[in-house]
Structure 1
């Protein structure tokens, strides 16, 4: 099981990859949304905001359900996603990554992955 520090580093790597996306492409597919990432095996949750300018830093939160897009993933799977050892679509299809969002947000998110 990954620890809190490894999960924070994984989220930073994911945010860094998003920062590398072409600004025009990002603006085309992104609508401002709040995003939470819950890591149930560590009883942690983080929150950020995505917008046309990118992704704000992830911050700890006590209210992950208040976000418009809610991700739930085990600590080891989060690290594997950040390291490109786990494909997000496969993780979602197998239940290792749970995403709660509107259908429109899911479609936008799919285009960025």
Structure 2
């Protein structure tokens, strides 16, 4: 089981990767609040997806988030590191993503 600090760092690593991709592929018109719930640790983080970037990552849940990702700590880290395929993880319910169907399509463009 990964720690809350490792999960926080994984989200910051994801933010860095999205930032690098946003610079090379152009602007993606997308602005949504995001909550990431780490089920086995009972903790959560939240931030904002803006123009293909993940910004403002902070501790705590955002119950009003437009996009909510729930996963165990090890699955979250594997997902961010690319060791876990997001489509398979969602299909097997290792990772749950709650979002508007149109937002899910835009999220695929980010990954």
Which aligned pairs between 1:1-113 and structure 2 lie closer than 5 A?
1-23=1-23, 25=25, 27-28=27-28, 30-52=29-51, 54-61=53-60, 63-113=61-111
Structure 2, gaps ≥5 residues long: none
RMSD between superposed Cα atoms in Å: 1.6
Structure 1 CA distance, aligned partners of 2:26 and 2:90?
Answer: 22
8 Å CA contact retained: 1:12, 1:57: no
SS of structure 2 residue aligned to 1:79: helix
* Structure 1 alignment gaps of length 5 or more: none
The Cα of 1:22 is off from its aligned counterpart by 3.5
Name the structure where strand makes up a greater proportion of residues: 2
Whole-Å separation in 2 of the counterparts to 1:77 and 1:53: 22
Moved over 6 A (4+): none
Instruction: Please give the alpha-carbon distance, in whole angstroms, between the structure 2 residues aligned to 1:45 and 1:81.
Output: 16
CA deviation map 1:25-84 (0-9, x unaligned):
4523x41100000001101010001112622131012x4321000000100001111221
Larger helix fraction of residues: 1
* Alignment: residue pair count: 111
Are the equivalent residues in 2 in contact too, given 1:26–1:54 (CA < 8 A)? no
Aligned to 2:47, the other structure's residue is in SS state: strand
Give the alignment's TM-score, normalised by structure 2.
Answer: 0.90
